Amino acid sequence: MFKGPGKDKTNSTKNGNDMVQKWTILKRRMIADYRLFQIEKKKVKSPRTGAAMDVQAIHFPDWVVVLPITSDQTVVMIHQYRHGNEKICLELPGGLVDPDDDSPETTVHRELLEETGYRSKRIVKIGETYPQPAILSNRCIFYLANDVKQVGAMSLDAGEDISLVHIPIDAILSKIKRREIDNAMTILAFSYYWMMASYLI
What does the pLDDT read at residue 12? 57
Length of the chain: 201
- What's the maximum distance between 2 C-alpha atoms anywhere in the chain? 60
- As a whole number of angstroms, the distance between CA 49 and CA 25 comes to 14
Using an 8 Å Cβ cutoff, are 183 and 90 in contact?
Answer: yes
C-alpha to C-alpha distance for 34 and 37, rounded to whole angstroms: 5
Question: What pTM did the predictor assign?
Answer: 0.88
Domains, the chain, ranges and CATH? 19-59 (no CATH), 63-200 (3.90.79.10)
Q: What is the pLDDT along the chain (201 residues), one digit of tens a residue?
A: 545 555 666 665 555 556 899 999 999 999 999 999 999 999 999 999 999 999 999 999 999 999 999 999 999 999 999 999 999 999 999 999 999 999 999 999 999 999 999 999 989 999 999 999 999 999 999 999 999 999 999 998 888 889 999 999 999 999 999 999 999 999 999 999 999 887 654
Check: CB of residue 92 under 8 Å from CB of residue 186.
yes
Q: Which pLDDT score is estimated for 157?
A: 83
Give me the pLDDT at residue 158, please: 83
Residues whose CB is less than 8 angstroms from the CB of residue 130 and which lie 6 or more positions away in sequence, other chains included: 136, 138, 139, 140
Strand pairing of 63-68 and 140-146?
parallel
